[in-house]
Amino acid sequence: MTELLDQIDSPDDLKKLSAPQLKVLADEIRRFILSSVARTGGHLASNLGVVELTLALHHVFDFKKDKLLWDVGHQCYTHKIITGRKDKFKLLRKADGISGFPNPAESEYDQFTVGHAGTAIATAIGMALGQTRQKENTKIVALVGDASIVNGVSFEALNNLGLVKRQLLIVLNDNSMAIDPTQGAVAKYFSKIRLSQTYEDLRKTTHNILEHMPVIGKTVDEAVERIKKGIRMVLPASQMFESLNIPYFGPVDGHDIGPLIQLFKALADLEHPAILHVYTKKGKGFHPAGTQPSKFHSTGPFKINNHKSGECVEVETAPKTGRPTFTNVFGRHLTELAEKDEKILAISSAMCDGTGLVEFRRKFGDRFYDVGIAESAAVDIAAGLARSGLKPVVCIYSTFLQRSFDQIFQEVALQNLPVVFCVDRAGFVGSDGPTHHGLMDIGYLRMMPNMVLMAPADETETKLALEFALSEGKPVVIRYPKDLVPKEKSVRTACAKPFKLGKSVVAKKGKDSAIAIVSYGSVLTEALEAAELLDRDGIAADVINARFAAPIDEKIVQLLEKGKAIITVEDHTAACGFGSAVLELAASKTMGGKQKTGDSNKLNNIRVLGAPRRFIKHDTRPTQLSQAGINAEKIAQTAKDLLEK
């Protein structure tokens, strides 16, 4: 079954294979990816789409010295398989296993640890300029999807491609679909071209390019002119890139490995930047990934019942809890609220499914805007909507919202506009690892005047927080993790109280307690568990559910005055986070009061638990939280240390 694949230990082994052999190898790799991802979970559809493309690139270039830059990077599995990491797919995205994204720490074949869209062209420009300055002659290839190329960073880079006076090949991998169908004018433009092309046209284009490629003494401009004359069909596709002065080749078939190799050979020798437009099919070779692209973009483990029909079922890796995710709860409740309030609108940045908005979009198609991978514009559009008197809800993952920092500052906070930000995947995210953790949002948002920062601890609070945010008439941020909501019984009834601006709630009152655990968001469960652990050791602790990181409840600081020690807990970097805000408030006051801990030094009586200032790699979310010291055991231990010191 994997005869050829078994012989591939490095890309050098590829180079010995003929085109027909590579075709067989591609099938083997496709089966390997399918069975591997079915077992471990991971990104599937995009990886099945670029098998031939990746093999052709590695057949032509030598990426031990040449540079291959992945955009987003979740489509790098074939690349990892043939660069010596095949055996590590058993632990894909797991502890001690390989990451699901490129990572220079894993292999010299990887240049950047990436996960966000739009960065490949700009970093490729930097590397090309660097190679020129260093007088190196390595080749540079940037592989960019059609969903990434519409991102503002990609465009800024394309606009600056003229800085490069040497070879730099951009492969535009056009598979007509980001995680959600790609939005916007460029996507429509690509799709118009795509629809006008038959398979025969693609073949003709390939031949035409090969025939007219520059030979010594002829410039690329002449070649492009000749190619255009050769096939009229190419003209509309080239228009956009032509206006940016970028030589454009294509579109060509990205699964036809023989011609692809010839094309790359020809394009590798150009002494200018150029773009090759390639069509691939997401989920190629696995029927369900084609029909349910959103489901098989990033999937958990699954079983294939019938290999022929491709029928498959999801494999339960965790016991069935019956509990929804925070994302589910948010999405459902927003849809419910929107039934009653016509002013509510939702804005997504190519993550309608991921942020739980599918039902909202189905019900309120005209109140839902997906702007594609364009987080900056998403926030500005929301600001315009809010300025018109509406209630836009912007739903973006914490890590991607970093792209909107400046827009949130200028167009929302400075104007004090009532935009609600639903910050999904806040905190540790598990298997996607450091590019995707949402560990900085509290810090970058709480510096801005006017912003209200909230974090619900459970299902009820998620609903109440959303209701509060939509009625507050101010910019409000609600953060929640990539996780199931906790069992209702684990959090106390205090969470059912309506939100009041800047007010915390008491989740548990310890008798004569000398210590209070103050938690922000879903880590309340850990705080409560810690209190139980302490209880068993005869130590009474209060548990406070802070609810707000801006403004901070003064009552939290008054606990110190009452002589209690405080431990703050959050799923965020300790730097600049919730606990840091508590410290700032405490330091701004002169406090009297007698310490119950016996230590009269109040700074000795506060501890901030949050993520350390280092990157924590892919693993399960609970393990990551533990590694960061954000769990019940660590809280309890910290409490004991505080009381015993």
Residues classed as catalytic: 282, 375, 403
The dihedral region occupied by 629, where left means phi > 0, alpha psi between -120 and 50, and beta the remainder, is left
Binding of residue 306 to its own copies (CB under 8 A): no
Q: Output 84 or 184, the one with its CB closest to its own copies.
A: 184
Of the candidate spans 1-9, 87-95, 474-482, 605-613, the one that interacts with its own copies by CB under 8 A turns out to be 605-613
**Cβ atoms within 10 Å of 108's Cβ, excluding its own:** 11
In angstroms, the CA 640 to CA 133 distance is: 58
Strands 541-545 and 505-508: antiparallel
Binding of residue 591 to its own copies (CB under 8 A): yes
CB of 166 to its own copies, least distance (A): 12
Binding of residue 124 to its own copies (CB under 8 A): yes
Binding mask 329-368 for its own copies (x = CB under 8 A): ----------------x--------------------xx-
Among 326, 397, 405, 421, binds its own copies (CB under 8 A): 405
DSSP assignment of 431-474? TT-TTT-B-SHHHHHHTSTT-EEE---SHHHHHHHHHHHHHH-S
Binding of residue 502 to its own copies (CB under 8 A): no
Q: Output 251 or 283, the one with its CB closest to its own copies.
A: 251
In angstroms, the CA 549 to CA 640 distance is: 26
CB of 128 to its own copies, least distance (A): 7
Binding of residue 376 to its own copies (CB under 8 A): yes
Among 24, 265, 444, 627, binds its own copies (CB under 8 A): 444
Of the candidate spans 87-95, 309-317, 444-452, 522-530, the one that interacts with its own copies by CB under 8 A turns out to be 444-452
Q: Output 18 or 160, the one with its CB closest to its own copies.
A: 160
Give the side-chain half-sphere CA count within 13 A for 231.
Answer: 27
Q: Output 375 or 458, the one with its CB closest to its own copies.
A: 375
CB of 21 to its own copies, least distance (A): 34
Q: Output 52 or 146, the one with its CB closest to its own copies.
A: 146
Site for its own copies in 614-633 (CB under 8 A): 614-615
Among 49, 293, 392, 481, binds its own copies (CB under 8 A): 392
Among 84, 184, 300, 629, binds its own copies (CB under 8 A): 184
Residues ≥6 apart with Cβ < 8 Å to 572: 426, 427, 439, 440, 441, 442, 443, 520, 578, 610, 611
Among 448, 484, 517, 534, binds its own copies (CB under 8 A): 448
Binding of residue 178 to its own copies (CB under 8 A): no
Site for its own copies in 186-225 (CB under 8 A): 186, 188-189
Q: Output 260 or 518, the one with its CB closest to its own copies.
A: 518
CB of 244 to its own copies, least distance (A): 4
Two tokens, residue 576: 């600049």
DSSP 8-state symbol, 488: G
**Cβ atoms within 10 Å of 641's Cβ, excluding its own:** 12
Q: Is the separation of the CB atoms in 523 and 479 below 8 Å?
A: no
Kind and range of the H or E run holding 327:
helix 326-340
Q: Is the peptide bond before 449 cis (omega within 30 degrees of 0)?
A: no
CB of 196 to its own copies, least distance (A): 14
Q: Is the peptide bond before 251 cis (omega within 30 degrees of 0)?
A: yes
Q: Output 397 or 468, the one with its CB closest to its own copies.
A: 397
In angstroms, the CA 352 to CA 81 distance is: 31
In angstroms, the CA 325 to CA 329 distance is: 6
Binding of residue 407 to its own copies (CB under 8 A): yes
DSSP assignment of 354-376? TTT-HHHHHH-GGGEEE--S-HH
Q: How many residues bind its own copies (CB under 8 A)?
A: 119
Angle at 7 between CA 5 and CA 9, to 5 degrees: 95
**Cβ atoms within 10 Å of 263's Cβ, excluding its own:** 25
Which value, to the nearest 10 degrees, does the dihedral of the CA atoms of residues 219, 224, 230, 234 take? 170
Site for its own copies in 537-576 (CB under 8 A): 550, 560, 573-576
Q: Output 220 or 377, the one with its CB closest to its own copies.
A: 377
Binding of residue 99 to its own copies (CB under 8 A): no
Strands 391-397 and 344-348: parallel
CB of 169 to its own copies, least distance (A): 15
Binding of residue 159 to its own copies (CB under 8 A): yes
